[in-house]
Amino acid sequence: MNLTLYVWRQKNAQDKGHMETYEARDVSPHMSFLEMLDVVNEQLLLDGKEPIAFDHDCREGICGMCSMTINGIPHGPEKGTTVCQLHMRHFHDGDKIYIEPWRARAFPVVKDLIVDRTAFDRIMQAGGFISVNTGGTPDANTIPISKKAADTAMDAAACIGCGACVAACKNASAMLFVSAKVSHLVNLPQGKIEAAERVRKMVAQMDKEGFGNCTNYDECEAVCPKEIPVKFIAQMNREFLKAKFKK
Amino acid sequence: MKLDSKIPSGPLAEKWTKHKFDLKLVSPANKRKYKIIIVGTGLAGGSAAATLAELGYNVSVFCYQDSPRRAHSIAAQGGINAAKNYQNDGDSVWRLFYDTIKGGDFRSREANTYRLAEVSSNIIDQCVAQGVPFAREYGGLLANRSFGGAQVSRTFYARGQTGQQLLLGAYSALSRQIGKGQVKMFPRSEMLELVVVDGHAKGIVVRNMITGEITSHSADAIVLATGGYGNVFYLSTNAKGCNVTAAYRAYKQGALFANPCYTQIHPTCIPKSGDYQSKLTLMSESLRNDGRIWVPKKKGDTRPPNEIPEDERDYYLERKYPSFGNLAPRDISSRSAKEVCDEGRGVGETGQGVYLDFSDAIKRLGEDVIRDRYGNLFQMYERITGEDPYKVPMRIYPASHYTMGGLWVDYNLESNIPGLFVIGEANFSDHGANRLGASALMQGLADGYFVLPYTIGNYLARAGYGPPGTDHAEFKRGESEAQNKIKKLLSINGKRSADSFHRELGNIMWEYCGMARNEAGLKKALELIPALREEFWQNVKVAGENEELNQSLELAGRVADFLEFAEIMCWDALTREESCGAHFREEYQTEEGEALRNDKKYAYVSCWEYKGVGAKPELHKEPLEFENVELATRSYK
């Protein structure tokens, strides 16, 4: 199939950026979206033009590095799929495809489709952990944890930190990301000890980074490649409120 | 060169305890005077960085990804082994040790492998305390499964995302230390040179991948946790960014590279679909518990699988290995798949694939049970191939997955360059010639949480603190070397992309130094690689400039190193005239086609010393001594 791509090009953080048009010819339906871009880039390189910069690494949907908005949807049209796992069989000959970086004040563009997501790391550094040092921990079976609690914690812990939730939100809110970590830890007995302090610190850092607030549009859940549910945002709000009263 | 493995004396089970007592300590008040550099933030690097910072050392950490949470440990699916014996099925430290050393075909050190098994239990305790959501039984205790043909259930897992959850545990511990200011984190930074001052590793030269700036960083000790070199095959299950550069640069500074030819080819990956293919995706080995592997008996049989009657199918693993059947170890399964495809019986468009068929299991257990066990894997398969594995058999083919070889280290995980420590997949130490399933995560975390933090103190206490300034001549040499290489890459302006050279190198390595090797093929590879390298340096095309984010330049630098490194792999495979574990030399096999080991001549670690680009490296041998296990022949019949 042949496609027309409209791609965001921006030389660096200072550049204003613009859309550019490229033709992708003889695209195989078995290619992944990123492999299609590889082929376009190879041609750009040989033509003496600069290839399109985009983040990617594991290409199996788990590292969270790949990040682009396709036709207005972060990670593209397939539900529960990162862009590296999106295949061209979901597109048709003659399609026009618009490719842009994540858009959020807290995720400034570094180059082309690459954005700076270190704000997420700083939120984690503020409190996204259980304060245990290496060594001296009790036997792993000392504290039984109900299967249900462990499963819920795992549902939340599945977040890959890609930032699609922020990109999809009209407020550029990071609530789904932050709540996934808060819920992961608070559903486990080990994580309850620091629950109040954790949620306070993480939310404070989230605000400081310039992420917006949640107004319950649930766009984040719709685009999340790991399908993290918004019920965790409700749980975080509850934890946050509880922490307020603990002050 | 005298290689001292520094294995402590005494009975096997007491060596580590005794050694820990013999190691010198750095007093708590002095720890803050030391600076340690760690490169890589996977399970090994992340856990080491967190632990060393907790102890009070100043730590600087570098990774090429945008966040330390994205290192490729994250992609491990299956699980992590530990000798907890929670299932009361006869597991023990000794059994885990024995399985690991036997699985490695008796090509690893007894003492290292035993220590790995010994600390395995602590890892699970640590991870649970951090909040890693391992799978649990209804009673609330931890669940286990058996994995990769082990006869006990000792594998802990978090759905199909065990690597991710363990890495997030290490990352959270690391984040805590970054927040406290004890760790300085440098993401999007690529190590380009190791700096050795007066015989000791004292620094690295790094390129900032956003600005292109080249900077020097000095420290009292350097830790490489930079993973394996599986991407030398181009197509592999590794992440696209995985590379050999850091380890190879250390090798060029005099560190020995051990057993580079031990590369594991994983049997259950989704086959390649076309020339544009950029990587291969692993399907968890657990699928072999219920799937049956087969190919048509007839060559070139192009009928769809459901039209091939039962008696015209060859369930070749069940036929050749009746007791292990479809669960035969990785190296054996991979080689058998290659054999039947080489005979012209492979399936799929490319003929490079075999069926992994669940129809019998679905008949026996029902689709719901299969969905419950493997639902996410079936979904992943369908997403990539567009085929529904509930209706048509999966197609699988082996792919490069893990590298047992790596930089040589002694029992302290210190290389032959004092002050240079190597941990995780980047070293060679624990898996011998073949790694068992669910053991990579175990080794990464064992090294980072429980081994390095003890052994590095011994070096630091002796060497003292106060790293040289980065204005030292050796740092300037490193910087100009890195800059010159970049300048050269940018100036060639040839006609081929670095990617196309990488693909060609991958084809050479897969063909001649892959699952099965022979003398003629390896000699041919040793002619093809230098020729390709020469063409690269005359004809590669790199876009843009250094002073910007430049992915084409990053790739070219990595490919340039693979083009030199590939030769050591071939030299190692050529000189090891036996078959062991993942290294299969066609000349050395039994009449039944099984690996033929030669313990008399080859029970040693091959350690290669750099002698110049294109020159044959010098081989040093560290003999392997076995005092506690008998060297048996692996048999899975």
Residue A29 near chain B (CB below 8 Å): yes
Residues A124 and A240 in one domain: yes
Rounded CA gap, B159 and B76, in Å?
Answer: 11
Residues of B in contact with A178 (CB under 8 A): none
* HSE value, Cβ hemisphere, 13 Å, CA-based, for B343: 15
Name the residue facing B141 among A65, A141, A151 (closest C-beta).
A141
Assign residue A83 a region: left if phi > 0, alpha if psi is -120 to 50, beta otherwise?
Answer: alpha
| A110 close to B (CB below 8 A) | yes
Give the whole-angstrom CA distance, residue B121 versus residue B154: 10
Mark yes or no for CB contact B128/A121 under 8 Å: no
At B1 the pLDDT is: 83
| B313 in the same domain as B362 | yes
CB of A79 less than 8 A from some CB of B:
no
> For position B149, what pLDDT does the model report?
64
Closest CA to B625 of B111, B96, B102, B6: B111
Collapsed DSSP state (helix, strand, coil) of residue B197:
strand
Q: Among residues A110, A136, A155, which one ends one of the domains?
A: A110
For the beta carbon of residue B523, count every other beta carbon within 10 angstroms. Answer: 13
Contact B130 A157 (CB under 8 A): no
- In chain B the first and final C-alpha atoms are separated, in Å, by 42
Q: Which of B343, B455, B623, B333 is nearest to B20 (CA)?
A: B455
Q: Is B84's CB within 8 Å of A140's CB? A: yes
| Same domain? B331 vs B439 | no
Alpha-carbon gap, residue B87 to B321, rounded angstroms: 27
Q: Is residue B240 part of a domain?
A: yes
Q: Are residues A65 and A138 in the same domain?
A: no
Query: Which candidate from B274, B279, B453 shows the least CB-CB separation from A59?
Result: B279
Q: Does A45 touch chain B (CB under 8 A)?
A: yes
Mean per-residue pLDDT of chain A: 97
> B237 to chain A: which residues are within 8 Å by CB?
60
End residue of a domain, out of B463, B495, B515 = B463
CB pairs under 8 A between A and B: 218
**Known catalytic residues of B?**
330
Beta-carbon separation of B70 and A158 below 8 A: no
CA distance A216 to A223: 14
Range of the domain at B120: 12-264+402-463
Q: In chain B, which stretches have pLDDT less than 70?
A: 148-149
- Contact assessment for residue A121 and residue A33, using Cβ atoms and an 8 Å cutoff: no
Whether B27 and B161 map to the same domain: the answer is: yes
Chain A residue with the nearest C-alpha to that of B165: A157
| Residues A94 and A178 grouped into a single domain | no
Distance CA B334, CA B267 (A): 5
What pLDDT is stored for residue B109 in this prediction? 98
The residue from B365, B383, B401 where one domain ends is: B401
Chain A neighbors of B31, CB-CB under 8 A: none
Same structural domain, B366 and B418: no
8 A C-beta contact, residue B96 and residue B120: yes
The answer on B251 and B172 residing in a single domain is yes
What's the structural domain count of chain A? 2
Whether A149 and A78 map to the same domain: the answer is: no
Token reading at A2: 């042949």
Pair (A171, A99) in one structural domain: no
The tokens for B315 are: 């369930």
Verify that A175 and A215 share a domain, yes or no: yes
Global pTM reads: 0.97
Measured from the Cβ of residue A197, the count of other Cβ atoms closer than 10 Å reads 13
Minimal C-alpha gap between B339 and chain A (Å) = 26
Q: Are residues A238 and A140 in the same domain?
A: yes
Asked if residue B580 belongs to a domain, the reply is no
Task: Residue count of chain A, please give it.
Answer: 247
- How far is residue B577's CA from residue B525's CA, in Å, rounded to a whole number? 17
Which pLDDT belongs to residue B539? Answer: 98
Show residues of chain B in contact with A143, CB under 8 Å. 128
Contact (CB, 8 A) for B83 and B93: yes
B546 within a domain of the structure (yes/no)? no
Residues A81 and A173 in one domain: no
Residue B283 contacts by C-beta under 8 Å, 6 or more apart in sequence?
Answer: B268, B269, B270, B356, B377, B380, B381, B394, B396
Q: Report CB contact under 8 Å: B69, A64.
A: yes
The alpha carbon of residue B474 is apart from the nearest alpha carbon of chain A, in Å, by 33
* Angle of the B162-180 helix axis to the A147-157 helix axis, nearest 10: 70
d(CA A33, CA A81): 11
Dihedral pair phi/psi, residue B552, rounded to 5°: -70, -35
Backbone angles phi, psi at A158, to 5 degrees: -70, -10
Within this chain, do residues B369 and B441 fall inside the same structural domain, yes or no? no
Fill in the DSSP letter of residue B399.
Answer: E
Whole-number pLDDT of residue B146? 83
B102 and B202 in a single domain? The answer is: yes
Q: Would you call A140 and B142 a contact, using CB atoms and an 8 Å cutoff?
A: yes
| B253 and B281 share one domain | no
Q: Let me know the angle formed at the C-alpha of B183 by A198 and B443, rounded to the nearest 5 degrees.
A: 90
Domain extent for A40: 3-110
Rounded to whole angstroms, the Cα distance separating B594 from A172 reads: 59
Side chain identity at residue B139, one-letter code: G
Q: A134 to chain B: which residues are within 8 Å by CB? A: 47, 50-51, 54, 126, 173, 449-450, 453
Residue B345 located in a structural domain: yes
- Do A136 and A65 fall within a single domain? no
Compare all CA atoms of chain A with the CA of B549 and give the residue at the minimum distance.
A111
Task: Report CA torsion sign: B402, B404, B407, B410.
Answer: positive
Question: Which residue of A lies nearest to B554 if distances are taken between CA atoms?
Answer: A53
Cβ–Cβ below 8 Å for A128 and B497: no
Structural contact between residues A6 and A96, judged by C-beta atoms closer than 8 angstroms: yes
Chain B residues closer than 8 Å to A39 by CB: 276
Which of B70, B127, B450 is closest, CB to CB, to A65? B70
- Per-residue pLDDT tens over the stretch B9-24: 999 999 999 999 999 9
Q: Is A132 on the interface with B (CB under 8 A)?
A: yes
**Domain edge (last residue) among A110, A139, A167:** A110
CATH of the domain at B98: 3.50.50.60
In this structure, what CATH number is given to the domain that contains residue A142?
1.10.1060.10
Contacting residues for B197 by C-beta, under 8 A, at least 6 apart: B203, B468, B472, B474
Nearest chain A residue (CA) to B240: A57
Same domain? For B393 and B412 the reply is no
**Measured at the alpha carbon of residue B422, what is the angle toward residues B200 and A64, in degrees to the nearest 5?**
130
What is the chain B residue with the closest CA to A44? B543
Tell me whether residues A58 and B548 touch, CB distance under 8 A.
Answer: no
If asked whether residues A105 and A206 sit together in one domain, one would say no
Contacts 24+ apart (CB under 8 A), B303-310: B304/B392, B305/B347, B305/B355, B305/B357, B305/B392, B305/B393, B306/B392
Top residue of B168, B456, B546 to mutate, by most chain A CBs within 10 Å, is B168
User: Which of A110, A131, A151 is the endpoint of a domain?
Assistant: A110
What are residue A6's DSSP bridge partners?
A21, A98
User: Is residue B396 located within the same domain as residue B289?
Assistant: yes
Instruction: Kindly report the nearest CA distance between residue B404 and chain A, in angstroms.
Output: 20
Nearest to B486 by CA among B534, B552, B396: B552
**pLDDT tens-place string over residues A111-149:** 999 999 999 999 999 999 999 999 999 999 999 999 999
Task: Judge if B346 and B409 occupy the same domain.
Answer: no
CA distance, residue B160 to nearest chain A CA (Å): 10
Judgement on whether residues A131 and A222 belong to the same structural domain of the protein = yes
> Is residue A121 within 8 angstroms of chain B, CB to CB?
yes
**Alpha-carbon span B302 to B347, nearest angstrom:** 8
Domain boundary among B420, B448, B463: B463
Q: Rounded distance, CA B41 to CA B187, Å?
A: 10
Which amino acid is located at A245 in the chain?
F
Predicted pLDDT at B373: 82
Q: With contacts defined as CB-CB under 8 Å, which chain B residues touch A184? A: 131, 133
- Asked if residues B177 and B49 have their Cβ atoms less than 8 Å apart, the reply is yes
Residue B63 lies in a domain: yes
Indicate whether A237 and A130 sit together in one domain: yes
Domain at B279, CATH number? 3.90.700.10
Overall average pLDDT of the A167-184 stretch = 98
- Pick B276's closest partner by Cβ from A38, A45, A121: A38
Q: Which residue has the tokens 């730590």?
A: B59
Which of B184, B268, B551 is the mutation pick for testing A, counting most A CBs within 10 A?
B551
Q: Which residue do the tokens 């914690």 mark?
A: A153
Does residue B496 sit within a domain? Answer: no
Mutate to test the interface with A, among B178, B276, B492 (most CBs of A within 10 A): B276
Long-range contacts of B518-523 (CB under 8 A, 24+ apart): B518/B585, B518/B586, B518/B587, B519/B574, B519/B585, B519/B587, B522/B570, B522/B573, B522/B574, B523/B574
From residue B493, alpha-carbon distances to A144, B97, B541, B564 in Å are 62, 53, 5, 21
Asked whether residue B154 falls in the same domain as residue B44, the answer is yes
Q: How many domains does chain B have?
A: 2
Structure tokens at B557: 């630098």
| Closest CA relative to residue B253, chosen from B206, B197, B304, B306 | B197
Q: In this complex, which of B165, B278, B552 lies closest to A34 when CB atoms are compared?
A: B278
Residues of chain A contacting residue B273, judged by C-beta atoms under 8 Å apart: 28, 30
Distance CA A216, CA A159 (A): 19
Task: Considering only the beta carbons, identify the residue of A11, A55, A58 that sits closest to B72.
Answer: A58
